Chains A and B, each alone.
Chain A
Amino acid sequence: MYPQQVHDYLQKFFKENNCEIVHGNEHYMTVQLTVDMDKKIMNRPFHWQYIENTNGVPDPAQLTLITDQTKISKNMKGEVVHFGSPRLSQIFHTTRELGACVQMYERILNNMETRPILTPWLGVNYKVSYYCDRTKEMLYSLGINLMTGEVINGFQESITTKELDDQKSERAFLLPFIIKPLRALERLDAVIENLIQQEDHAWAEEAKSRWQKDQAILEHFYEEVEEKPECYEMEKKAMAEQYEAKIKIDIINGGLFYMK
Chain B
Amino acid sequence: MIIERSSEWKEGFISRLENQEPWDNWTLYKMSYEAVKNNLITDFSGLQSPKYLPNLTPLAHQLEVAETVISRMNGKAILADEVGLGKTIEAGLILKEYLIRGLVKKVLILAPASLINQWVEELNYKFYIPAIAYRKNTSIDYYDVVVMSMDTAKKSPHKELIYAQNYDMIIIDEAHKLKNHKTKIYEFVQGLKKKFCLLLTATPIQNNVFELFYLISLLKPGHLGSYETFQSSFSASKHSLEHDEYLRELVNQVMVRNRREETGIEWTSRRVQTIPIEFTKEEREVYDLILELKNVSSVFSGAFSMITLQKEMCSSKEATYLTLNKMRQNCTAQEEIAFVDHIIQKLMTLEINSKAEKVYEIISQANDKVIIFTEYKASQVYLQWYLNSKGITSVPFNGQFNKSKREYMKHLFKEKFQVLIATESGGEGINLQFCHHVINYDLPWNPMKLEQRIGRVHRLGQEHDVHIYNLAIENTIEKDILDLLYVKLDVFEKVVGELDDILTTFKKTI
Q: Determine the chain B residues whose CB is within 8 A of the CB of A85 once the complex forms.
A: 128
The contact of A86 among B51, B55, B71, B128, by CB within 8 Å, is B128
Quick one: closest A residue to B8, CB to CB? A251
In the complex, what distance in Å separates the CA atom of A92 from the CA atom of B33? 10
With known contacts A135-B103, A230-B191, A249-B3, A223–B226 Cβ distance under 8 A: yes
Which B residues lie within 8 Å of A102 (CB)?
Answer: 23-26, 29
Give Cα A244 to B195, complex, Å. 11
Q: Which of B12-20, B329-337, B382-390, B397-405 contacts A (4 or more CB under 8 A)?
A: B12-20
A-B contact count (CB 8 A): 202
B34-57 with Cβ < 8 A to chain A? 35-45, 51-55
- A245/B1 in contact, CB under 8 A: yes
Chain A residues with CB below 8 A from B29, complex form: 99-100, 102, 253, 255
Q: Are A136 and B223 in contact (CB under 8 A)?
A: no
B195 engages A247 (CB within 8 Å): no
B residues 82-129 near A (Cβ < 8 Å) are: 101-103, 128
Q: Is B54 a contact of A234 with CB atoms below 8 Å?
A: no
Min distance, Cβ A44 to any Cβ of chain B, angstroms = 16
* A250 surroundings in chain B (CB, below 8 A): 6
Interface size class of B (residues with CB under 8 A): 35 or more
Report yes or no: A218 in contact with B28, Cβ–Cβ below 8 A: no
Contact status of A221 and B190, CB under 8 A, knowing A82-B54, A135-B101, A254-B9: no
Chain A residues positioned under 8 Å from B23 (CB to CB): 101-103, 166, 255
**What's the Cα separation between A214 and B223 when bound, in Å?**
8
Size of the A side of the interface (Cβ < 8 Å), in residues, is 78
B217/A99 in contact, CB under 8 A: no
Q: How far is the CA of A248 from the CA of B195 in the complex (A)?
A: 19
Query: Does chain A have a CB within 8 A of B159?
Result: no
In the assembled complex, the CB of A201 is this many whole angstroms from the nearest CB of chain B, namely 7
Q: Is the CB of A220 within 8 A of B41?
A: no
Does B74 lie within 8 Å of A242, measured CB to CB? yes
Q: Are A95 and B9 in contact (CB under 8 A)?
A: no
B193 within 8 Å of A (CB atoms): yes
* A103 vs B19: C-alpha distance when bound (angstroms): 12
Contacts of A248 in B (CB 8 A): 3-6
B236 at the interface (CB under 8 A from A): no
Cross-chain pairs A/B with CB under 8 angstroms, 6 sampled: A83-B51, A84-B51, A85-B128, A102-B24, A231-B190, A247-B2
A interface residues, Cβ below 8 angstroms from B: 1, 9, 12-13, 16-17, 82-86, 92, 95-96, 98-104, 125, 127, 129-131, 133-139, 141, 156, 160, 164, 166, 181-182, 185, 189, 193, 196, 201, 203-204, 210, 214, 217-224, 230-231, 234-235, 237-238, 241-255
